[in-house]
Chain A
Amino acid sequence: MKPAFSVLFFTVTSGIGYGLLMWLVGMQLVSGSVASATEVDVNNFLIMGFVGLTLATLGLLSSTLHLANPKNAWRAFSRFRTSWLSREGVFSLLYYPIILTYAFLVYLNGGELNSLSQIIGALSVLVALSVVICTGMIYASLKPIRQWHNPLVTPLYLLFSFTSGALLYVSMYAGLENEVPRSITILFLVLLVVSFISKMLYFRSIGKPDGATIGSATGFSQAHVRLLDAGHNADTFLTKEFVFDAGAMKLLRLRYLMIILAFVAPLSLVIAAMAWDIAPAIFLAMLSLYSGLFLERWLFFAEARHVVRLYHGDQRA
């Protein structure tokens, strides 16, 4: 599949934004007030919330850039019952009034939570969770792309959202309070390791030969089939959209680079930051994780092979 920048930016950035907001609100719900959970005051909470919401919004706006006919985008909310894309749209829009009401209530009560704000806060976490799940399911529900139609895809989207959101939380906290918060940093490290293991399992899973072949695509399931002529001498919509070849060696190298940027570097930088209490290392880790996730998402597209490629010269999906 051809990686479209707007979609890469959308899934990575709004994933981080929703992740940060889920941590912010979730931790407050657990401890009952802003101060005791995050040890930041209400103003800092509002700043962090604003950043999270801005990232989520930028991502969502970017996702509309790949629409060929955006004037009909408002119709995308109408098929909630069947379409994951529609569900994503509905939940992402629903999120705004909920999180803004929550922030307003927290602000009114000077950082303390009452039962109403607790309910709304819990709701906001659920809706943010739903948005990220929907994003994953948009890809996981596509049967013609076996690298996406994989049970690990949606959990990975969630894990990366949690992980990157946690690190953004830690780095913003470090920036505002000039120290590294222990508990959530340890949580981040655990999440990073879990994400790493899941991603490796995913690579293992998509590495197995599986799925449709040129035989089943043409109905000649036992014969040896080979494309002689695709019927056109220039590119078509299908080849432009679905046929993307980066080369096996390049993909492998980029996988290694991704593992370094998204997992190894953030892990070592954050451990270093915790051990010697150096806050700047956290920012470096954040930068590395963000670019690593971009690369991860690029690979997610570049390594996905749509079965329509079988009609353009591929022997198996």
Chain B
Amino acid sequence: MKLGLVIDLDTCVGCHACATACKQWNTSGTIGPLSDQSPYGQDPNGSWLNRIRTFEVNQANTSTALVDNSKSASCGSHTFDLHALATQGESALAGVGSNGSPASKTVHMPMSCMQCEEADCVTVCPTGASYKREEDGIVLVDQDKCMGCNLCSWACPYGARELDEEQGVMKKCTLCVDRIYDQNLPESERKPACVLSCPTSSRVFGDFDDPTSEVSKLTVERAGQALMPELGYKPTNRYLPPREKGEVAAMVKTNEPALSKLKKWANRMIAR
């Protein structure tokens, strides 16, 4: 088994519910508590296993790896772009679609442990506290063995590991290992807390080794991507690119006389 998450960047609204549910579940779970430093003070601080970053993704004049570009709204004709550059000045630098609207998207990207196949965080660990389970590929930290040297967090490119300042041990996503195998829970609830809490169902949990699982199918259908594959960590989690949406028709302002507008409105009302 190769358990992991698929995260749909198309539907994620960046509400942070996954991070909050994660914190709530795991602070009382097997690796808990997840301590906070001055949670009600000036600089609230603490260990989180899931963090959401928001990016502006500007696809103007480029072919985007994540987005199917065949009928892209972002690439207007060359002459149009020149025209846009000339007429819109500054805003053209930020990217302009073919209908003149900005071609940038706001993308929310929740990040937790990628459950890498080549998990360097495990190999650098001198105490054997970090380990990767052979049966399902989940990377865990044995809280009783960790000496808090931070080396695993240095070895992780995804920022998935955070030191608990109060206990001096490393915390990371467990993929809710204390939920997903719990026979006392109904089967529909044997999923990580982040997946259950997601209001837009942007997070899907499953076995990537099984080609018929939902995560495998989604990855194939929507070209799920790994982050920073060039580092060679072979992360398990996949991110689904935003779907290509049709252009939203721009409202056209006409110079119709007020009287004809009023007639049209009256006709519409009578027709009802």
| A308 interface contact, C-beta 8 A | yes
Q: B149–A67 contact, CB under 8 A? A: yes
User: Which B residues between 55 and 103 are near A, CB-CB below 8 angstroms?
Assistant: 55-60, 62-67, 95
Given A216-B227, A241-B150, also A224-B165 (CB < 8 A): no
Q: How far is the CA of A76 from the CA of B129 in the complex (A)?
A: 9
Digit string of B192-228 for contact with A (CB within 8 Å is 1, else 0)? 0000000000000000000000000000000001111
Q: B55–A225 contact, CB under 8 A? A: yes
Which of A235, A237, A307 interacts with B228 by CB under 8 Å?
A: A307
Q: B150–A142 contact, CB under 8 A? A: no
User: Which B residues between 159 and 179 are near A, CB-CB below 8 angstroms?
Assistant: 159, 162-163, 165, 167-169
Q: A236–B126 contact, CB under 8 A? A: no
- Which residue of chain A has its CB nearest to the CB of B162? A237
Which of A138, A219, A234, A311 interacts with B53 by CB under 8 Å?
A: A311
Query: How far, in Å, is B116 (CB) from chain A's closest CB?
Result: 11
Q: How far is the CA of A73 from the CA of B19 in the complex (A)?
A: 32
Which of A66, A69, A70, A225 interacts with B56 by CB under 8 Å?
A: A225
| A75 interface contact, C-beta 8 A | yes
Which of B55, B122, B126 interacts with A226 by CB under 8 Å?
A: B55
Interface of B is mostly: loop
Contact count band on B? 35 or more
Specify which chain A residues have a CB less than 8 angstroms from the CB of B232 in the assembled complex: 143
Specify which chain A residues have a CB less than 8 angstroms from the CB of B148 in the assembled complex: 67-70, 72
Q: B107–A218 contact, CB under 8 A? A: yes
Query: How far, in Å, is B222 (CB) from chain A's closest CB?
Result: 12
| A200 interface contact, C-beta 8 A | no
Specify which chain B residues have a CB less than 8 angstroms from the CB of A225 in the assembled complex: 55-58
| B155 interface contact, C-beta 8 A | yes
Q: B126–A78 contact, CB under 8 A? A: yes
| B24 interface contact, C-beta 8 A | no
Interface centre among A220, A232, A235, A311 (most CB of B within 10 A): A220
Query: How far, in Å, is B65 (CB) from chain A's closest CB?
Result: 4
Q: B156–A144 contact, CB under 8 A? A: yes
Known: A83-B125, A227-B54, A234-B44. 9 other contacts (CB 8 A): A67-B147, A72-B127, A78-B126, A79-B126, A212-B157, A216-B230, A224-B60, A231-B53, A307-B231
